[in-house]
Structure 1
Amino acid sequence: MNRHLKRALELAIVPLAAAIVFIEQTLIKYLNVAMVAVARWPPIAKLEGWLVRLPPYAALCAFLAPSILILPIKLIALWFAAMGHYTFALGTLIVGKMLGTAVLARLYRILRPTLMTIVWFAKADTWFFYWRDQAYAFVKSLPAWTRITTLVQQLRTRMAELVSGLLAR
């Protein structure tokens, strides 16, 4: 590829791709921690125990259910937007998306062994994560990613120093 074109694409796409990768990885990390804590609540633990024992296609239905359950949240966001409350609409969409992601990630984690017994699901799962990992590797190999990662690490270090300095007083 022409090096000037490659540089132009890097400047245009990398910040967006890096932001998406960073936000996705951060959200998944913290949402998983939150969902593990929620899963300790006895009724949720009992529900998860029941879900693990489902047959493959029932597990698939349980896995897809959050997509349907989030629909009312999207309708509420649409209603807020129609009423001119765009901040509420955006907030509702963000909360709904985070809630849906958290539940879906938890369901994936507990139902994956059962879901992988469905041949087409196993193929789709392998294909999806292969391409996702390829995209992540590409973004992480770019010099802009290294610069952004370094800046984020410096910011974290400064924040930690600031917080520890405030707590030491």
Structure 2
Amino acid sequence: MPPALRKLLLWPLRPIGHLAGWLLALLIVFEEWGWEPLQKILARIGRWPGLRWIEGTVRGLPPWAALLLFTLPSLMLLPVKLLALWTIGQGHLVLGMLIIVGAKLVGTAVLARLFTLTQPALLQLRWFAWVYARWMHTKALLLERVRASWPWRAGRVLKRQWRMRWQAWRRRMP
């Protein structure tokens, strides 16, 4: 197929590809800004005396048990999300959205912590290691594009300014 004809036929797909790329970039940004901090919070909670043995047990799981445990939070949150949709359907939009956001935060925190604990076992599964390697490569390429974008750079400047204002305000406090 001649390049000009190919370009003409594929032009309608270009906006869809850009949209998909930005949606994936948003997912990665959420992972970068949400996944790690939430995982660290649960790691602190996991150091509590009654919970240490749970983390030790999870770390010692064989690969397939680790995979099963890793998928469990997603399944457990399904009824909560359905409750949120029902709440929205009853006319309580704000409450329903708060339930969805809360479920997303809790689910992400638990999933992030479980992944940290089960990652060595999961990577023993050949197909999982292959998917994980591809994901990390794709993530690195997308992060490079996102970090070069104007919104990302502007956001970093704003974040730095807010941090400096916060620190100045805290220094002024008695």
Q: TM-score, normalised by structure 2?
A: 0.80
Unaligned runs of at least 5 residues, structure 2:
1-14
- Residue 79 (structure 1) aligned with residue 86 (structure 2): yes
Corresponding residue of 1:113: 120
2:67 aligned to 53, 60, 69, which one?
Answer: 60
* Aligned partner of residue 54 in structure 1, secondary structure: coil
Corresponding residue of 1:100: 107
Cα offset, 1:155, TM superposition: 1.8
| Cα pair distance change 1:18/1:150, threshold 3 Å | farther
Q: CA separation in 2, counterparts of 1:116 and 1:96?
A: 27
* Aligned partner of residue 124 in structure 2, secondary structure: coil
Cα offset, 1:20, TM superposition: 5.8
Q: CA separation in 2, counterparts of 1:48 and 1:26?
A: 24
Cα offset, 1:160, TM superposition: 1.6
Corresponding residue of 1:155: 162
AA aligned to 1:74 is K
Paired residue total: 157
Equivalence map 1:1-169=2 (5 Å): 22-165=29-172, 167-168=173-174
CA contact (8 A) 2:88 2:96 kept: yes
CA contact (8 A) 1:17 1:139 kept: no
AA aligned to 2:47 is R
Unaligned runs of at least 5 residues, structure 1:
1-8
AA aligned to 2:38 is L
Q: Which moved more, 1:92-101 or 1:31-40?
A: 31-40
Q: TM-score, normalised by structure 1?
A: 0.82
